[in-house]
Structure 1
Amino acid sequence: MTTTRRGRVGAAAAAAAAATALFLASACAPGPSGGGDTTPAAPTNEVSKDIASAGEVTLAVWDQNTDGGISEAQEQLNAEFEKMYPNVTIDRTVESFSDLKTTLKLALSSNTPPDVVQANQGYPDMGAFVSGGMLRPLNDYAELYGWDGYYPKSLLEQNSFSSDGKTWQGDTLFGVSQTGEVVGIFYNRKLLAELGQPVPTTLAELDSAMAAAKAEGILPMAFGNLDKSPGIHLFGVVQAALAGAPAVTELVSGQGGAWTDEPSRNAAQEIARWAQQGYLTPGTNGVSRDDAIAEFSRGGALFTLTGTWMQQPLQDAMGTDVGFTTLTSESGPATTGGQGLAWAITSKSAHPDVAAAYIEFITNAKAAQLLLDTGNLPTVLPSDYQPEPGTLAADIATQYRDVQKADGEVPYLDYATPTFYDTITAGMQELLGGQADPQQFVDRLQKDYAAFLTSQK
């Protein structure tokens, strides 16, 4: 049987509270901390696919697959896994993304962490977990299950670190992802046609369409930033359209550039102007992501900006009236995206072979088809997948393939430093609320970024 968040949230909170002191002492920043070496030891046992011989196993799994289609898919996959392996029971805890970021950091520090978790890539989460010795390296399982041949190298690199957690995109794999993701613009086909506007593929076209909507008394973009993480997506999309994917990728990876460079500053100016001119939902910092998307789905706005994980809910609500597009920079397609959170095995799991078999089961080619059937985007699209033209599914598949082919996907911006999630989300709330101007916003990002780069030398 599986247990949902309603039945498990108390246990999650208890584990989090019990581990707070230990986490704060050992896992606040990349690189070993405290007095001992926290680098995870390389696994020494031979790995196996023989799950039946593991005996009766309860596999504790924590994930953030809460949205419509992906929640349905996860339940189906869990049930099918238990049917294939009757000796295994999946004990599932499901949290929202923001809740998981809070509770997981604490629970992994306890003596009884879950076996399998979804870990956000980059320094703030995966890097801290790796440096704290909390995640098991997966290179051996990648060889056993062929993950290093199934997934594009660039996506495996996003789920990799050096073994000490100091270098993102290092030589050690710590997770694989189940879903592909593209952050872009969902649009109301009917309203866009009535306004006589083309489907926007550039920032200028998007701005023109929003101005036309505003002139007709239509909310240009339903956008809620109460949850904080949507602000990262908004800035990421606009920044990529102005700077291009190569420049932003280098910036996030610490390979070049600065957050105070002209394209980033111009992106902040553009977003501040949208807020000032009423292009975004009024009081956007006090509006939840779900409420903003619901407003769009009811026909209350021309656009909403979010990720492809909202495909099934919007398709269910709007049918053929909803479309999806991404923006192109001067250097080609460019938008935030790549893949969903990495599925990882905790270092204290007593059942790593079972955990690896579970991850393989929910991410392989067969799982990809189930994900498509439930309105989701798998990390690796089947080569013969061709959805009906003119549908939301077709729009998303086309954009995902085109952006990947052009190397136009930019990593999520919060991967940049251990503290960047808090820095950029707070900064975006101030920028949207008018408490900070664009220069102050980019200065704040650069201060965090520069301090981290200095600490790495």
Structure 2
Amino acid sequence: MKYRKRIVAAAIAVGALSLGACSSGSGSTTTPASASSGAGQYAGQTLKVMDYEGADSAMGIAWAKAIQIFEAQTGAKVDHQSTSFETLNASASQLFDSSDAPDVSEYNKGNGTAGQLAATGIIQNLDDAYAKYGWADKLGAGISTIAKYDANGVMGSGSYYGVPNYGEFVFLYFNQDMFTKYNVKVPTTEAELETAMQTFKDNGVTPMTTSAQEYPMGQLWYQLALSKANRQWVNDYQLYQHPIDWNGPEITYATTTLKSWLDKGYISKDVSGMKAEDAGLQFINGQVPMFYSGSWWYGRMLTDVKTFKVGITNWPGTTLTPGSGGNIWVIPAKSKQPELAKIFINITMSPEVQALLGESGGLPVAANTADVKDPNAQALIKLFNEVNARDGLSFYPDWPTPTFYGDLNGVMQGLVNGTYSPEQAQAELKNYYETYVSTVTKK
């Protein structure tokens, strides 16, 4: 493959995501409707909004408030349509280019998803809206990385095609009561993590849950690779700056470590048929002491866990971790209400809605952090800022190609089932990755 060098060093500097640096933005959603869009100006019109957030999640709570404000300010009605991440991930290119397209939708960021749709004209260029509403001033350079895509659909430069509406990252949830019962300390190194898992295993407890059918195990695999990687490796993997060595120390460590943990019973082989929801429920129901997954679960953990204390900690002994600005609002090319869509997006970026997002267990990107009072929310923000302080956010493993989410899940299932050895798993992933990347990077 011939790799084209990209000047993206500044764009990849994700330290600017720190919530401590977020400004309060301009204005407030409590401004009278007549001062913003005109009360009743859009009466009789309908905005079709699509997302894949649970109603009781932090984002679901915040977007419900945004819908309420939007309807009061504009006089328009919202047709709110819920879907799943997997369903939209598989169908967006067709749905957004059809007469059934939503007017505005949450969508997955990255080269293989939003980038591909931007490059093919399926989602709208938002440069004018960014200039009108001042969204870039609220985001910072790190989050803006996932909002911009060039002509090839590669993130970090070019025009704006999406608006990140929250931050997210992946960390370790743990059952503090089970840790106390078996005298296990919160690990600060991967060696201590393995010791902890062995202690649980010796006491007849499967230490960690995950899902090979959906995203959690792929993100765990990526975290293990990141624990042996540096920022240049992330740039090479995500932005195609240099070829990736699929038998190098980063990926080899990740794949062989997962296989070892499966063989030792630290992770049950039942995860091959489990979805993310299944894994999350195992943890919520107190069946396992550890679950490695994202901040998008946090609000639910606070509301659904009734029988034990939930602890959170960053992955031990690493600088880099999966994470970024959260999913993005996009406006499909076939949107029938693009101007109303922009008004709605702007409301979701307002201090009132962003503060509610933080209070509900999410990570706001445009909040005045002084407005976030809840101690649980503050704990999450503190953990997030630890990652930002070390320039640790490293995006997600499935971003490089349009099909890599499914490709990676399939290989993870094969690793669990014994269909693939670690070497075979890496060869499969190399083929999937390089087949696509060569089409993007060729001169």
TM bracket (short chain): 0.7 to 0.9
* Equivalent position amino acid for 2:332 in 1: T
Corresponding position of 2:4: none
How far the C-alpha of 1:51 sits from its partner, in A, is: 5.8
Aligned partners of 1:245 and 1:335 also within 8 Å? no
Given candidates 280, 287, 308, the residue that maps to 2:274 is 287
Secondary structure of 2:432's aligned partner: helix
User: 2:225 corresponds to which letter in structure 1?
Assistant: Q
Letter in 2 for 1:277: K
Aligned partners of 1:337 and 1:411 also within 8 Å? yes
Gaps of 5+ in 1: 1-47
1:82 is aligned to 2:97: no
* SS across alignment from 1:300: coil
RMSD: 2.3
Separation (CA, whole Å) in 2 of partners of 1:209 and 1:265? 23
Does the alignment pair 1:92 with 2:77? no
Q: Which digits, 9 at most, give the CA deviation of each residue in 1:15-64, with x for residues without a partner?
A: xxxxxxxxxxxxxxxxxxxxxxxxxxxxxxxxx96465455321111111
Q: Whole-Å Cα distance in 2 between the matches of residues 292 and 281 of structure 1? A: 11
Q: Provide, for residues 359-407 of structure 1, a one-character-per-residue CA deviation record: whole Å limited to 9, x for no partner.
A: 1111332211111222222234534367566x4x343211211112221
Deviations 1:48-95 (A, max 9, x none): 964654553211111111263232332232122212222x11111111
Secondary structure of the 2:145 match is: helix
Residues 367 and 382 (structure 1 numbering): CA distance in 2 closer, same or farther, change over 3 Å? same
Which of these residues, 407, 424, 432, is aligned with residue 391 of structure 2? Answer: 407
Tell me whether 1:442 sits opposite 2:426 in the alignment.
Answer: yes
**Does the CA-based 8 Å contact 1:203-1:238 persist in structure 2?**
no
Partner residue in 2 for 1:145: 133
Task: Say whether residues 1:216 and 2:172 are aligned partners.
Answer: no
Q: 1:106-135 deviations in whole A, cap 9, x for unaligned?
A: 211213421101221123221221122111
Q: In structure 1, how many angstroms separate the alpha carbons of the residues matched to 2:143 and 2:288?
A: 34
1:84 and 1:55, CA in 2 relative to 1: closer, same or farther beyond 3 A?
closer
Q: Specify the alignment match of 2:156 in structure 1.
A: 169
Normalising to structure 1: TM-score of the pair? Answer: 0.82
| Counterparts of 1:382 and 1:439, CA distance in 2 | 48
Identity %: 25
The secondary structure found in structure 2 opposite 1:68 is coil
- Whose RCO is larger (CA < 8 A, sep 6+)? 2
**Structure 2 length as normaliser, TM-score?**
0.85
Q: Is it true that 1:357 corresponds to 2:343 in the alignment?
A: yes
Pairs within 5 Å for 1:289-368: 289-318=276-305, 321-329=309-317, 333-368=319-354
Counterpart in the other structure of 1:21: none
User: Which letter does structure 2 place at the counterpart of 1:405?
Assistant: A
SS at match of 1:243: coil
Paired position in structure 1 for 2:106 = 118
Tell me by how many angstroms 1:224 deviates. Answer: 2.7
Letter in 1 for 2:206: L
Give, in whole Å, the separation in 2 of the partners of 1:260 and 1:296. 33
8 Å Cα contact 2:145-2:156 kept in structure 1: yes
Counterpart CA distance in 2 for 1:96 and 1:108 is 15
1:278–1:328 distance in 2 versus 1, CA, 3 Å: closer
Q: Deviations over 1:421-444 (max 9, x none)?
A: 222121111112221111111222
Tell me, yes or no, if the aligned pair for 2:125 and 2:159 is still in contact at 8 Å: yes
Q: Aligned partner of 1:82: which letter? A: E
**Where in structure 2 are the equivalents of 1:54-65 lying within 5 Å?**
54=42, 56-65=44-53
Give the residue type in structure 1 aligned to 2:365.
T
Equivalent-residue separation in structure 2 for 1:323 and 1:244 (angstroms): 28
The alpha-carbon distance between structure 1 residues 103 and 172, as it changes in their structure 2 partners (threshold 3 A), is: same
Contact 2:301 2:310 in 1 (8 A): yes
